[in-house]
Every structure is written in structure tokens, then in C-alpha cells.
Amino acid sequence: MKPTATALALALSASAVFAQDKVTIEFAYPYSHLFDVTYQAMMPAFEAAHPDIEVKFRATYESYEDGTNTILREAVSGNLPDVTMQGLNRQQILVEKGIARSLAPFIAKEADFETEGYHQAMLSLSTFDDAVFGLPFSVSLPVGYYNMDILKAGGIESLPTTWDEVIAACETMKANGVQNPVFWGWNITGNWFMQALMWSQDKAIVENGHVTLDSPEALAALEQMQAIFTKCDMQNLDWKAALASFSAGEIGMMFWSTSALGAVERSQGDFDLVTGPFPGMDETPRGLPAGGNAAMLTSTSEDPRVQEAAWAWLKFITSGEGAAEVAKTTGYMPPNKAANEIILADFYQQNPNKQTAVDQLPLLRDWLAYPGDNGLAITQVIYDGIERIVTGEAADMKALQEELVEEVADLLPNG
């Protein structure tokens, strides 16, 4: 039977009403090369569960620092997204400035929040003054990526466990004609590898508001970096160039976040890829900084429907179902227990290269932010100092340490 004109009119009217009832929220996240594929994998399930919500994706942040700077600017201009993804070490400044909204009212309405995988250890990563301001989305640790074809060609069968062994492997590879044996991720966001060398010695880079660059452990970290850079003849590559070179089979060893494993595997050339634990300074690391990010509610809308839509999206991407896609498409570990214990029960056994970071979880330590409003500027000071080691401009590590201590002190609230 053909539909009548009245029936067609009613159908069109209903469609128009549905379209008008659809709520649009805006979302921003970092690292498109890592996470684009993750959100693409998530969207079908979210759209099926929430047909009345449209998620508008903003331009991605280049890095966690870029993400925080962008949000700070948007707070001034009144153009904040409804949900933002921020580095775990960049949450506090958004809380202190009143940009991030407490999630307590939304969590209070959830009947089975903990049984859905949101356990206390997860929530503590985004808890400030006893209130939850974010839901952690992914957790990463530093690992080693190895081209076993290159290593074995030089007679290297075992993965290095210390930086001295890494340097020895570099010497072997150079003698075997490898021009760039290693890439060591000094330029990763938030001085993460500097903190990794500090935590390896069980030393925090911030203690009681004091940045501990004046410590013996900080000097040892600088000296260790210099040894790796100079003795391995490491080229000063940015991340994308390093990834391309490693994927092409030109670099034997790469040290970076486990978060990039999915991207590495997707671009990998024809060689045997193996991941291994992050080497230590003469011994197994005593700690490593937890990288990763958390979803935060930054919506300025007072419309309850927009707020509830933003919460629905924020909760979905950090849920067991959403977090499982993080593990499948990247090398990040999902902090949601439901993802790890139920959905991914056999996943890590079937993906041993992703198991490496999981095995290092007992070493997990805080990825620390620098105190005060100049935290991002302190990050840049340390970044610039390390780059001077890479380029050979800085040769005296004690002198460099003294310069960094003085520059950072000028940026701290307490001097």
C-alpha cells in the first residue's frame, strides 16, 4: 500500500523534530596519528547507543602541552569544547583555574559505577581535593622497540636491560654498517624521559614544590643521556621522522612510549619487531612515570541536555567497551578494570608486544607537573637544555645542570 500524503508529511515532520532534538557536543583530543583510528573504531557503537547525540571533533592537539595551552586560550575567549582530553600531568592547572568541572554530580547518579570498571585506583589519577575531575582514558609506560633483524645481524640475541648494554649494542650495529642505531625519545611530551631516568633512581623531579634538578640523580640523568646520544651517534629527529625511519628498517632500537605501538605496527616494514622493558641505569628501573591522558568536562553550557550528552560521551570512551578499543588500536593500557579483566582477558596473551608495558605496571609512578602558572615554561626550559645535549652544544653536564636550576628557579612561585 502506498503511503498517503498525510503519512508522508507526518514522517517528514517527525524527522525534522528528531533532527532538532539531536544534541551536538564538541570534543578535542591530542595526537591524531595515534588516536584517529581509536575514535573511528568507537563511533559506530556510540552512535547506535546514542542516536540523539552528535559528536563534533575539533582539530587535534599536536601534544599535551599544545592541548593545555589551547584550553587556557579558549577559556579566555569563551570557546571551550564540551569534553577535552588532557595529559595526566596537565589536569591540575585546569582544576585550579576552574576550567574543568567536577564529575561528582554525574558519578552520583550512576548506580553501578565501580562495577563498570571505574575503580578507586583509576579515579585517583584524576582526583583533586577529594573530587574527581576527569576519567583516565589511557595509561602508558616507556618501552624499547627492537628491529630484531638488525640486532641479530650483529650477533645480538638478547634485549639490553641497561643503558650500558644499549650503548654496547649501538657500537656493534655501527660496526655492522648501521648509520643510526638508536632513537631515544628525549623530545617526548612533558620531559617524560627525563622523569623516567629520575624515577629509575627512585627520585621524583618535584618534591614539596621544589624541582629537584639540583640533585645528584638529576646530574646522573643528564650524564646518562649524554652517553646515549654521543656514543650511539644519535640523530636529532622529531618523532614522526624517527617513526618513519624505524618503520623503514633503518634504526635498530627505538625508545618511546608504548602508546605508539599500534602506529608502529601499522607502518612497520618487513622485519621482526619485538618490544622490551625500559632499560635501567646499571640496574632494573625502580620506577617509571605513568603517561597517558584523561577525559575532562569543560563545557560552559548550562543546558542539562548538553551536559548529559557530554557526560554520556565522556563515560563511553572511558568505559570497558571504549577502553578496549584503546588497547586494540594503540599500545596504551586501559585503566578501566572491565576492559582489562573481561573484554581483554586473552588479548595480551595473543599480543605479546603489548604485554611488555603491562609487565612494568609495578613500576608505575606519578608523571609530575611543575608547580605554578609557569609549569609549561619550565617544561620548555628542560626541553631546550636536553636538546643542547643532543646537538652537542652542551658538553659539560654539571654546568648545564647549574644553568637549568637557575632558569627553573626564576619560574617557580617560591623561587
Give the pLDDT of the chain (415 residues) as one tens digit per residue. 444 444 444 444 444 444 458 999 999 999 999 999 999 999 999 999 999 999 999 999 999 999 999 999 999 999 999 999 999 999 999 999 999 999 999 999 998 898 889 988 899 999 999 999 999 999 999 999 999 999 999 999 999 999 999 999 999 999 999 999 999 999 999 999 999 999 999 999 999 999 999 999 999 999 999 999 999 999 999 999 999 999 999 999 999 999 999 999 999 999 999 999 999 999 999 999 999 999 999 999 999 999 999 999 999 999 999 989 999 999 999 889 888 888 898 999 899 999 999 899 889 898 999 999 999 999 999 999 999 999 999 999 999 999 999 999 999 997 6
Query: Concatenated DSSP letters for 361-390?
Result: GGGEE--PPPSSTTHHHHHHHHHHHHHHHH
The distance of Cα 294 from the centroid of its chain, to the nearest Å, equals 9
The boundaries of every CATH 3.40.190.10 domain in the chain are 24-139+291-364, 142-289+370-411
pLDDT of residue 8: 42
Angle subtended by helix axes 216-231 and 192-200, to nearest 10? 120
Rounded Cα–Cα distance for residues 176 and 187 (Å): 27
Give, as one character, the DSSP assignment of residue 339: I
Q: Please provide the size of the chain in residues.
A: 415
Look at the block and give the residue holding cell 626564576: 410
CATH of domain 142-289+370-411: 3.40.190.10
Q: How far apart, in whole angstroms, are the C-alpha atoms of residue 285 and residue 27?
A: 37
Please give the CATH topology (third level) of the domain spanning 24-139+291-364. Answer: D-Maltodextrin-Binding Protein; domain 2 (3.40.190)
Instruction: Say if pTM beats, i.e. exceeds, 0.75.
Output: yes
For 311-340, b/e burial (b = at least 16 CB within 10 A) is bbbbbbbbbbbbbbbbbbbbbbbbbbbbbb
